[in-house]
Structure 1
Amino acid sequence: MRSYCRGWPAVFDRAQGSHMYDEDGHTYLDFFAGAGSLNYGHNNPVLKRALIDYIERDGVTHGLDMSTTAKRAFLESFQNNILRPRDLPYKVMFPGPTGTNAVEAALKLARKVKGRESIVSFTNAFHGMSLGSLAVTGNAFKRAGAGIPLVHGTPMPFDNYFDGTVEDFLWFERLLEDQGSGLNKPAAVIVETVQGEGGINVARPEWLRALAELCERQDMLLIVDDIQMGCGRTGAFFSFEEAGITPDIVTVSKSISGYGMPMSLTLFKPELDIWEPGEHNGTFRGNNPAFVTAAATLDTYWADGQMEKQTLARGEQVEQALRAICEEQSGVHFRGRGLVWGMEFEDKPRASAVCKRAFELGLLVETSGPESEVVKLLPALTISPEDLDEGLRTLARAVRETA
């Protein structure tokens, strides 16, 4: 079961901003950010103050789906800072504490609305570790852990899967229209605009627009899984904004609480709300302390539009550094958006070696991709230009020293 503690053999004791400290006094610059759950850094002082104040006044900690002042404050902040400025009509559902809870709710709702079982996903997708989410996940190692057949999911090629040699959606649409194809009519299509665990595969805006149009033509719902790439990771709050589409259903988790506390949302268009009361529930779907930090996050970082501009500026800084590394080193390629970037190594085991050496040098980075061939960079959105530059220099050194 253990994973990260194997790659980073240290006992961590404290964390602040973009730094973690182990019990032996070593300092590590964090380019991992809780797998994207700490977009605003460790123990962000603004969020910490809001949380401490709430706890000290004996605010409700656990309330299932009861109405609370903390929930109301979050919903008002989410509406005012995120949904209304983007003219997004979504209803907000609290399906449980984790990203896979949000995906399970999205899949159940799509099937309930359309009265169909099949869901289409994409090659190298990752949507969670529970059975429904695994059925639309591509990674063979993770799928094998289910121990039973994973059914009612059909994979299709992600953007640029054939290196531009095949017309977008040619295979998918042909199967949909051919009565002899054997493809059951899908209820929905689920997609990540940037595949994080799959290797930082970035979908082009035009590909996403074509997918949205295909779903509309074929009477399928479009689900965007924004669990890792939402909450500003790619620049805009939602990663699909750049493409100018409005998905039918959106899943959000990881950094929505802002403080690393468990929280997830399933957003959907109002006409899709055909749930019966209590039809999808859970004991921990109302994490009130997470509501408190989430509202503070939105009010602090998303009220004036500056967060997006800062993230894009930091992204340009990363892009320049990665370009320099790839120009210096053969067999290394990079890609990304905003503050999610990946370096792919043709010599696949080298990616793990780079991460190991980076740890020894005081930098936390992880691998991704189906064969762990990509070094993934997920620094906090609040990282200073100086810390970002230091981490990129350390990364460059790790790449050179593993050549």
Structure 2
Amino acid sequence: MTITQPDLSVFETLESEVRSYCRGWPTVFDRAQGSRMFDEDGHEYLDFFAGAGSLNYGHNNPVLKRALIDYLERDGVVHGLDMSTSAKRAFLESFQNIILRPRDLPYKVMFPGPTGTNAVESALKLARKVKGRESIVSFTNAFHGMSLGSLAVTGNAFKRAGAGIPLVHGTPMPFDNYLDGRTPDFIWFERLLEDQGSGLNQPAAVIVETVQGEGGINVARVEWLRKLAEVCERWDMLLIVDDIQMGCGRTGAFFSFEEAGITPDIVTVSKSISGYGMPMSLCLFKPELDVWEPGEHNGTFRGNNPAFVTAAAALEAYWADGSAMEKQTRARGEQVEQALGAIVDENRAEIKEFRGRGLVWGIEFLDKERASAVAKRAFELGLLIETSGPEGEVVKLLPALTITPDELDEGLRTLARAVRETA
């Protein structure tokens, strides 16, 4: 693909140096539909990024767009704080009838603010309020957000350093297979809990991702998750599952913890819950944990009614018929797994492994600079992918759940070429 150098001057002179994704994709995007994005010069890109998991149903999904346009054209409420609105009612009813009741999940629903880190902050505050303790246990290579409370339970040293102050009241423990299977699961954690001389304050909660996205596509085994739930129950700690990127069907089932057969005390949801890429997040928790005083946690934009509209439309369109979306995602995941296996076979001396679930996958390179080179070459070939892992050593694939088999095959062929051409 021949790319004319775009005019980036206003971004480079006026926008903060903190911008990141635009540095890896140096063009000016203009429109998008489904799994395709187009820059202002008309170049086409296949999107294996999906808004960092915020666009599980693709760009400008026509079903969701129609619902949104109809709502706006009738002057539906846009900003409503936590007022009762018809849009919020429709979402809550759909969420209860389509998602919670069929899974026998008793959760209360809280709208903490528009972003994932808002949901995590509210979950941590609630756990501390319920248990009367301050310590939270997280895991190595975790990522839970960029505000201070979320950073305190995030593992990445670079992101933590941006806080500028000590990040306290969080204790990391080894994630599944962090020690390469050399010790039994949770032996260190439980020893600290039972030893009065360990220095570990009794935690209020444990927060975990079933698949660590930013951490490098680290997939927890269902056995490990079940044991974690048992440890939390035995030691009177709440279990928080951060399903912000891996929820809404990304791993197959609507919630990523369903396969393990566990019921977390608290679940955080964001990214694709709105369905259309609009800001929206949820904090879900068991009814007995609903000890909030009115207004004790709030936010001006917690009532994003257009997001409620598209969220309800997404649930009705993709989840009301039971397991169809889950089966499709698993089939697409098998397609990805086979293609990545072939890429690894072709480049065994350069790739450590590939791993994933559903439609989230990663390839870890032995040369930690290689993943960035592959992502750069993929962009030049018309494919959008990002990197993850503590040193950016993993190429991360996060296509829309609605991607077609042909589009998926096209992107995987492009990825194989990018790997080949950066050897």
> Is the TM value for this pair above 0.5?
yes
* 1:228 equivalent in alignment to 2:245: yes
Of 370, 392, 399 in structure 1, the residue corresponding to residue 390 of structure 2 is 370
* 1:327 equivalent in alignment to 2:337: no
- In structure 1, give the amino acid aligned to 2:410: E
- In structure 2, give the amino acid aligned to 1:28: Y
Q: Which residue of the partner structure matches residue 295 of structure 1?
A: 312
Superposition misfits of 4+ residues, deviation over 2 angstroms: none
Of 332, 337, 359 in structure 1, the residue corresponding to residue 379 of structure 2 is 359
* 1:396 equivalent in alignment to 2:416: yes
Q: Which residue of the partner structure matches residue 67 of structure 2?
A: 50
Of 310, 315, 332 in structure 2, the residue corresponding to residue 314 of structure 1 is 332
| Structure 2 portions without partners, runs of 5+ | 1-17
Q: Distance in 1 between matches of 2:280 and 2:250?
A: 17
Corresponding residue SS for 2:127: helix
How many angstroms does 1:147 deviate by?
0.3
Of 8, 29, 41 in structure 1, the residue corresponding to residue 46 of structure 2 is 29
Q: Which residue of the partner structure matches residue 233 of structure 2?
A: 216
How many angstroms does 1:382 deviate by?
0.1
Residue pairs, 1:167-178, within 5 angstroms: 167-178=184-195
Q: Which residue of the partner structure matches residue 6 of structure 2?
A: none
Q: Distance in 2 between matches of 1:192 and 1:274?
A: 25
Q: Which residue of the partner structure matches residue 343 of structure 1?
A: 363
- In structure 2, give the amino acid aligned to 1:308: E
Q: Distance in 1 between matches of 2:344 and 2:320?
A: 37
How many angstroms does 1:76 deviate by?
0.3
- In structure 1, give the amino acid aligned to 2:339: A
Q: Deviations over 1:85-105 (max 9, x none)?
A: 000000000000000000000
Of 80, 86, 107 in structure 1, the residue corresponding to residue 124 of structure 2 is 107
* 1:70 equivalent in alignment to 2:90: no
How many angstroms does 1:72 deviate by?
0.2
Q: Distance in 2 between matches of 1:99 and 1:132?
A: 12
How many angstroms does 1:123 deviate by?
0.1
Q: Which residue of the partner structure matches residue 146 of structure 2?
A: 129
Q: Distance in 2 between matches of 1:11 and 1:223?
A: 38
Q: Deviations over 1:179-225 (max 9, x none)?
A: 00000000000000000000000000000000000000000000000
Q: State, as a whole percentage, how many aligned pairs show the same letter.
A: 89
Q: Which residue of the partner structure matches residue 10 of structure 1?
A: 27
Corresponding residue SS for 1:199: coil
Corresponding residue SS for 1:222: strand
Of 182, 193, 200 in structure 2, the residue corresponding to residue 183 of structure 1 is 200
- In structure 2, give the amino acid aligned to 1:353: A
Q: Which residue of the partner structure matches residue 250 of structure 1?
A: 267
How many angstroms does 1:62 deviate by?
0.1
- In structure 2, give the amino acid aligned to 1:97: P
| Root mean square deviation of aligned Cα | 0.3
Q: Distance in 2 between matches of 1:402 and 1:283?
A: 47
Q: Which residue of the partner structure matches residue 407 of structure 2?
A: 387
- In structure 2, give the amino acid aligned to 1:391: G
| Structure 1 portions without partners, runs of 5+ | none
Corresponding residue SS for 2:370: helix
Q: Distance in 2 between matches of 1:218 and 1:33?
A: 39
Q: Distance in 1 between matches of 2:42 and 2:145?
A: 35
